[in-house]
Structure 1
Amino acid sequence: MVNLKDITTSNRALQSVPPGLVAVFAGATAGIGRATLQQFARNANGPRAYIIGRSNEKGSHIIAELKTINPMGTYVFIEGQISLMKEVDRVCEAIKKFETHVDILCMSPGYLSLGGRNVLDTSEGIETGLALQFYSRQRLLINLLPLLELSTSPRIISILCAGFEGTISPSDLECRQHYNFVRASRAAATMTDLMFEELAKEHPSVSFIHVNPGSVGTHLMDHFLASTPGLLWYPAQIPRYTIVPLYTHFLSTSPNVAGERILFLATSCRYPPAADHSKKGHVDGFVERPAGIAAAKPTVMKDGSGNGVYRVDWNCETCKESKILDRYRGERMGKMVFEHVMGVFERALRTESGGNGN
């Protein structure tokens, strides 16, 4: 476990890095994403942050808050509904107009709901939870990879549930059969790992990190119970107003601490990419590893070299190896997942606005 003192010391060292770190945040209008954004503004030297969200009104409040934290930073809110692939493309084009590189991509959009799958499909025919947890994140990072590769230390963070990967079916990667949010979330985690490993083969200068932030005191569970359908809504309010507040305040990590840890993942040399880029001026991170802390273990090691992909727990340590992922690697499921994602993108982009995508 990397202790919090080392993490905060590492993050404060960002102030000595030359100004102009560029980060893109998706899902940072609340919760862990917002806390990470705040820590980025607090610790970086003259940072530039792009915040993607659904509400310009909420965005204006966030930017005012960031200006108070660090008036030397530049903060741009881009309104967009990123559960839609067309909207992801539009947002990325807007960023490309202003930036010649991106250093950090931090993605945490998502929500929990007890509603059924058919109710929650987007107009592009993708279940909304999977769209936010997986497909839109992959679209975002693929669109921004050309800019990320121009960074001296590019890093991609997907805040989801590393270590809780579940089985996936080649014939039902979208979880259309027997849908439930747990199955969909665990499938999203598995596909995230496999997709990252495929992308890392072609983009060895980029570090890919899938992180499980653990129990964090956000409003996610409250919103989850509030979404309970029908008559079940009434009994769901009992834990909502009793157990959830106690758990949030006494048994969970604060969003502020979680944000510190995610920023450490995004900037520390502890999580190097696959390739040695010293000849090209690339480095393993923006801040040296804390004394006595070794480099993290990537998901795949070959001939002593890592693949630049990391499954990381709440404590910034690598998750235990996964038998499920080992089996899927042997079955070349990574390539299948990649091709599936490209097919979903193609289908979504063909869908007319307001269609059902079927």
Structure 2
Amino acid sequence: MPSLSRIRQTNAAALSAKQYIPTAVFVGGTSGIGEGMAEAFAKHTQGNAHIILVGRNRAAAESIISRFPKPTSPDAKHEFVQCDVALMRNIRNASAEIRSKLSKLNYLAMSPGFMTTSGRNETEEGIDRKLAVHYYLRWMFTKELISLLEKAQEQREDAKVFTVLAAGAGGPIDVNDLGLKKTYSLKNAALQAPTYNDLMTEEFAARHPTITFAHAIPGADPIHSHHNTVNI
């Protein structure tokens, strides 16, 4: 396994060598791992990128963006799109807004998550909130923004989708109760969402072989987890 310093050097070299202004959307980019990814991306591109943070907290997003390196390219932009990602209709609306801002998308990174000790908590759309945040939002954003990723690939630019949750750490799924309406438990919700993401990643990759899809398990962010336990 390469060292952390080697990984940082490789990331910096890969992004700084781009001959185009990269575009990146960070869903969950206003705190935790998503914030860290957005800040690293801005640093390695020297701010010369079109970066969109997606989340609920505009003040947090503006604070993060204010710390990005100031771009030298007139084509670079740093923006925020507000979205409560637990509702699929909000994701459709946010995706439409993103499509109006971008002509192509190079990187889509999704990292929202939260921990809860309560039972099943349905949104008004009939989806358990934990499953909505841990799985459904990732599928919906990917589906809604895939056309922008395809446009980047057609221009021979990077086109990559990265979801952060728990790759390979899931359990067996019940094909007769995929929404866990009958068999919900904290354990089932915790184990099935990672499997859903694994299968989603594999299927999108099979359908779009020229786009890179990845699912990662970096570990829990205790600060972000506590924040979401309290506020979601």
TM-score, normalised relative to structure 2: 0.89
In the alignment of these two chains, the number of paired residues is 222
Q: Please give the per-residue CA displacement for 1:209-244, whole angstroms capped at 9, x wherever unaligned.
A: 01000255x4145447768xxxxxxxxxxxxxxxxx
Query: Residue 41 of structure 1 contacts residue 47 of structure 1 at CA under 8 Å; is this kept in 2?
Result: yes
Q: Please give the per-residue CA displacement for 1:55-101, whole angstroms capped at 9, x wherever unaligned.
A: 222222222122xx344442110111111111111111111112111
Secondary structure, aligned partner of 2:79:
strand
Q: Which residue of 1 aligns with 2:7?
A: 7
Corresponding position: 1:94 with 2:109: no
Corresponding position: 1:80 with 2:72: no
Query: Residue 164 of structure 2 contacts residue 218 of structure 2 at CA under 8 Å; is this kept in 1?
Result: yes
Q: 2:118 aligns with which of 93, 115, 119?
A: 115
Q: Which residue of 1 aligns with 2:67?
A: 65
Q: 2:184 aligns with which of 152, 164, 179?
A: 179
**Which whole-Å CA distance do the structure 2 matches of 1:60 and 1:223 have between them?**
19
Query: Residue 23 of structure 1 contacts residue 49 of structure 1 at CA under 8 Å; is this kept in 2?
Result: yes
Q: Gaps (5+ residues) in structure 2?
A: none
Secondary structure, aligned partner of 1:153:
coil
Matched letter for residue 189 of structure 2: A
Q: 1:138/1:39 Cα in 2 relative to 1: closer, same or farther (>3 Å)?
A: same
Query: Residue 48 of structure 1 contacts residue 74 of structure 1 at CA under 8 Å; is this kept in 2?
Result: yes
Matched letter for residue 12 of structure 2: R
Q: Which residue of 2 aligns with 1:341?
A: none
Alpha-carbon deviation of 1:18?
2.2
Q: Which residue of 1 aligns with 2:193?
A: 188
**Which whole-Å CA distance do the structure 1 matches of 2:228 and 2:30 have between them?**
17
Alpha-carbon deviation of 1:178?
3.7
Q: What's the Cα RMSD here?
A: 1.8
Rg bigger for which structure?
1
Q: 1:115/1:74 Cα in 2 relative to 1: closer, same or farther (>3 Å)?
A: same
Q: 1:123/1:169 Cα in 2 relative to 1: closer, same or farther (>3 Å)?
A: same
Matched letter for residue 148 of structure 1: L
Q: 1:208 aligns with which of 208, 213, 227?
A: 213
Alpha-carbon deviation of 1:182?
3.2
Secondary structure, aligned partner of 1:121:
coil
**Which whole-Å CA distance do the structure 1 matches of 2:103 and 2:226 have between them?**
40
Query: Residue 105 of structure 2 contacts residue 149 of structure 2 at CA under 8 Å; is this kept in 1?
Result: yes
Q: Which residue of 1 aligns with 2:149?
A: 148
Query: Residue 112 of structure 1 contacts residue 220 of structure 1 at CA under 8 Å; is this kept in 2?
Result: no
Secondary structure, aligned partner of 1:150:
helix
Query: Residue 121 of structure 1 contacts residue 128 of structure 1 at CA under 8 Å; is this kept in 2?
Result: yes
Query: Residue 83 of structure 1 contacts residue 128 of structure 1 at CA under 8 Å; is this kept in 2?
Result: yes
Matched letter for residue 39 of structure 2: Q
Q: Please give the per-residue CA displacement for 1:302-347, whole angstroms capped at 9, x wherever unaligned.
A: xxxxxxxxxxxxxxxxxxxxxxxxxxxxxxxxxxxxxxxxxxxxxx
Which structure has the higher relative contact order (CA within 8 Å, separation 6+)? Answer: 1
Q: 1:36/1:174 Cα in 2 relative to 1: closer, same or farther (>3 Å)?
A: same
Percent identical among aligned pairs is 31
Secondary structure, aligned partner of 2:67:
helix
**Which whole-Å CA distance do the structure 1 matches of 2:205 and 2:225 have between them?**
33
Query: Residue 23 of structure 2 contacts residue 50 of structure 2 at CA under 8 Å; is this kept in 1?
Result: yes
Query: Residue 170 of structure 2 contacts residue 195 of structure 2 at CA under 8 Å; is this kept in 1?
Result: yes
Corresponding position: 1:219 with 2:202: no
Query: Residue 32 of structure 1 contacts residue 108 of structure 1 at CA under 8 Å; is this kept in 2?
Result: yes
Matched letter for residue 24 of structure 1: V
**Which whole-Å CA distance do the structure 2 matches of 1:224 and 1:30 have between them?**
10
Q: 1:64/1:224 Cα in 2 relative to 1: closer, same or farther (>3 Å)?
A: closer
**Which whole-Å CA distance do the structure 1 matches of 2:187 and 2:41 have between them?**
31
Q: 2:173 aligns with which of 163, 168, 177?
A: 168
Secondary structure, aligned partner of 1:17:
coil
The 5 A counterparts of 1:151-300 are 151=152, 152-216=157-221, 218-223=222-227
**Which whole-Å CA distance do the structure 1 matches of 2:228 and 2:55 have between them?**
20
Q: 2:50 aligns with which of 45, 48, 63?
A: 48
